Structures are given as C-alpha cells and as structure tokens.
Amino acid sequence: MSDRRHFLNTTLLAGLGLANMNFSFSDTKAKTIKPPALKAGDTIGLVCPAYSAFVKEDVQIAIESLEVLGFKVKKGEHIFDRYGYLAGSDEDRAADINKMFADKSVSGIMAMHGGWGCARILPLLDYRTIQRNPKVFIGYSDITALLLGINAKTGLVTFHGPVGSSSWNNFSVENFRNMLIEGKAMQMANPVKKGDNLVQVEDRIYTINKGKATGALIGGNLTVLSHILGSPYVPDFKDSILFLEDVGEDLYRVDRMITQLKIAGILNQLSGFVFGKCTDCPPSKGGYGSLTMEDIFEDHIKPLKIPAFSGAMIGHIKDKFTIPVGLEATIDAEKGSITLSEAAVNK
C-alpha cells in the first residue's frame, strides 16, 4: 500500500494517443449496462493488472477454486510477467484486459490480486471494445481504479468483490454466487454471530446518521479513489451512495483523504454513505493522541445529514460482499443493510 501512495499524475499520461481518444469517448454520462450472468461451464479470464503474480502456487489455488465453482479459467498472456513490482509493462497489462473483453470465449474477468499499478493502465484500455462486449469484471483494492474507470467510460456495472487470491469461504462464495450466477436483487447485511459472548462483538454496524437512502453504488478503496480524482476515470457522484474501504493506513491519512473528498465537492453530492472496514488502520503514533474512525465520521460525514453507517463487510477481509459499482441500491443505516433495486446481471 505504501507504493500506492506515491501515485504520480504523470503516469496517467502514458500512452498519450490512446488517452486523448478515451477522454472524448464519454463526454456525457454513459447508459448503465449490465453484464450477462455467469453460469457453470463459463470461462473466467484471470489477469494481473497491478502487482506481479510472484508465487505461481497462489495462481494455481485461484484456478482450482474457480474450477470448483464450475468455471473454466484462461490465464492472461502476461500474468507471470514482471517489471519491478508490476506484472509487466503497462502496455502488456492493459493488453491482457483488452484481449479478455474481446475474446468471445471469455464470460467474466477477475483480477488475481491488487497492489499498485491499475491507474497506470487506465488510458490504455479499449473502452469501445469493453462497452460492446459487456462482461463481469471483478476485484477490489487497487482494482478500484479499473472498476471506476470502466464504469465511468462505458456505463458497465463492475463488481467490487473477491480477487483470485481471496479466501473462497462460504460467506464470500454465497455472496458471489447470489450476485453473479443466480442474479438476485440481493439484500446484503452483516452476519449475526455472538459466539460465546452475550452480544455481538465482531462485524458490528456503527450508525452515523439514521435513515434510508437510494442511489447508484459508487466507490471502493479510499486511497485509490482519492488518487484518481480529477481524471476522466471517475463516475458521477450526484445522488450516489459512496462506499469505501481501506487497509494499512494511519488514521490521519484516512482523515486527509476524506477531507479531500469533502473539499473536492463530492461528499455534498451524496444521497448516502457506507464505510466498510479499515483493516489494520491504527491510531496515529506520536503527538498528543489520535482521532478515531468515529471522530472522523463525526467531523466529515455526520454534518452531511444523509443516511450513513460503517462496518459493512467490504474491504481487505475474509468475508466479503460482492458490490455492484454503478447499480442503484437502497441503504438502511440503522440496520446496516444494502438492498439492490434490481439484479446486477442479465439472466
């Protein structure tokens, strides 16, 4: 995650000729496009758009997991390439995604993992081909840049959910299956589990502002989102529900990034707000103490007077929701639920 913080605006100018073409491609808001549902026997394209696949066994475990779900797997041509910490050159990583969207035998595309590097390839993607060949595209963390960029440029609903290297446990698989295979208009709510305790201790919901709100779900990793603001690869936030997550960030950085969203005029456009998990985000060291996550929400989110809550199963955690980016949903901030207005895929 530290590499991700050193985002350079100049990297977005790579492949300038393509960048100019893409900037003009979506001058107006693209119409929402839902991908076809996945089914048994479909082929999933596995790509590395950010960090390299350093351990081949991890890729094999991902392949076997997807096969257990009933899918075939096609590896990206450059999945094992390495250029420093990246999975090969920007051009080759982008080419793998472009080829998977163009390949009629591929029904869905999944990132092997995140890291850093997705924003570098945003100007190199073939958005016309992506729009003409809608497919499930899924991942999280650094993949946020691609989820948002593809949605902004094409209108395709993308999915913030497991990557190949995720833990394919019952909770995550059930959410993945119901969203992308069964095509259910799901209601997502945290599991209720007290264990040996008198009350629930883990995965609790913290209500910032009560109420219900409806809007398109837009978001992902907070750090990644904050680093692509001001680019053509960010969807329209007007009347949307912003969902966020992060990992390994000191709380002053979380405060700084949410402040950035505020002064960029994004927060006051929202109809609702959801924060998932900020995994391994300790109070800042040194000084006279630290704000807490609750303090940050009280300072920046509560004054918006919109329905808002935190603690949803979104983030760098084992039990994950699969969240459709660009699809309308309704949140209930007291219950901590997210209910889709319709199925996220076409059956």
CB 187 within 8 A of CB 267: no
Which candidate in 52, 65, 113, 245 is catalytic? 245
Task: For the beta carbon of residue 28, count every other beta carbon within 10 angstroms.
Answer: 5
Give, as one character, the DSSP assignment of residue 29: P
Q: Say which amino acid occupies 200.
A: Q
Q: Is 271 a catalytic residue?
A: no
Which tokens belong to 66? Answer: 């997807």
Residue-by-residue DSSP string for 61-82: HHHHHHHHTT-EEEE-TTTT--
Q: CA 248 → CA 2, 216, 321, distances in Å? A: 9, 27, 20
Helix 293-300 × helix 251-263 angle, to 10°: 10
Measured CA to CA, the distance from residue 93 to residue 99 in angstroms comes to 10
**Alpha-carbon dihedral angle through residues 66, 75, 218, 181, given to the nearest 10 degrees:** -30
Which candidate in 52, 107, 141, 240 is catalytic? 141
Measured CA to CA, the distance from residue 118 to residue 4 in angstroms comes to 10
Task: For the beta carbon of residue 39, count every other beta carbon within 10 angstroms.
Answer: 13
Task: For the beta carbon of residue 169, count every other beta carbon within 10 angstroms.
Answer: 12
Which of 141, 183, 148, 145 lies closest to 162 in space, CA to CA?
141
CB 47 within 8 A of CB 81: no
Q: CA 82 → CA 51, 58, 159, 166, distances in Å? A: 8, 16, 26, 21
Q: Is 316 a catalytic residue?
A: yes
Give burial (CB, 10 Å; 0-12/13-18/19+) of 165: middle
Which candidate in 166, 226, 316, 337 is catalytic? 316
Q: Is 160 a catalytic residue?
A: no
What residues are annotated to the active site?
Answer: 141, 245, 316
